[in-house]
């Protein structure tokens, strides 16, 4: 974080309680590949400016990435798998160029 304080919620297992970590100005948080489910947000009234740095993986590395997302069909936060729709493009995909699939009910978005 460059300015402000961000709050990160992490859990190794979506069925377990999450842990909350605050990261202040000039602070950093590190995640290994496939480490934990993670979510960052600003719970303060002040702006937060930060940098996210990812170590060079290729676009197809998105295949197999899982995220906790609210599923309207399940009516709950469930594990979703992510896949890039254009596997030949090595750049990080835009969110609308990705297929997000609920692993509980199989619905795509
Ligand atoms: Zn679902």
Task: Report the separation in Å between the CA atom of 4 and the middle of ligand 1, taken as the mean of its atom positions.
Answer: 35
Terminal C-alpha separation, the chain: 31
Percent of the chain with pLDDT over 70: 86
**Protein residues placing their CB within 5 Å of the ion ligand 1:** 71, 73-74, 102, 104-105
Percent of the chain with pLDDT over 90: 35
**pLDDT tier, 103 (very low <50, low <70, confident <90, very high otherwise):** very high
The residue behind tokens 């979506």 is 14
Burial (CB < 10 A; 0-12, 13-18, 19+), residue 71, is buried
Task: Report the separation in Å between the CA atom of 76 and the middle of ligand 1, taken as the mean of its atom positions.
Answer: 8
State pLDDT tens for residues 83-100.
Answer: 877 767 767 677 778 888
SS3 104: coil
**pLDDT tier, 23 (very low <50, low <70, confident <90, very high otherwise):** very high
Q: List residues bridging with 9 in a β-sheet.
A: 20, 39
Burial (CB < 10 A; 0-12, 13-18, 19+), residue 38, is middle
State pLDDT tens for residues 52-72.
Answer: 777 655 555 666 678 888 899
Domain ranges in the chain are 1-55, 59-102
Confidence (pLDDT) at 102: 94
Whole-structure pTM value: 0.62
Query: Is the model's pLDDT at 30 over the cut of 70?
Result: yes
Task: Report the separation in Å between the CA atom of 75 and the middle of ligand 1, taken as the mean of its atom positions.
Answer: 7
- Pair of tokens at residue 89: 């493009």
Between 60 and 73, where is the model more confident? 73
């Amino acid at each position: 974080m460059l300015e402000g304080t961000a709050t990160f919620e992490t859990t190794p297992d979506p069925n377990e309680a999450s842990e909350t970590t605050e990261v202040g100005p000039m602070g950093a948080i590190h995640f290994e590949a496939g480490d934990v489910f993670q979510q960052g947000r600003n719970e303060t009234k002040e702006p937060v400016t930060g940098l996210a740095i990812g170590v060079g993986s290729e676009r197809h590395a998105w295949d197999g990435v899982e995220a906790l997302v609210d599923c309207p069909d399940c009516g709950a936060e469930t594990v979703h798998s992510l896949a890039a729709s254009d596997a030949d493009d090595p750049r990080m995909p835009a969110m609308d160029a990705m297929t997000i699939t609920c692993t509980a009910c199989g619905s795509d978005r």
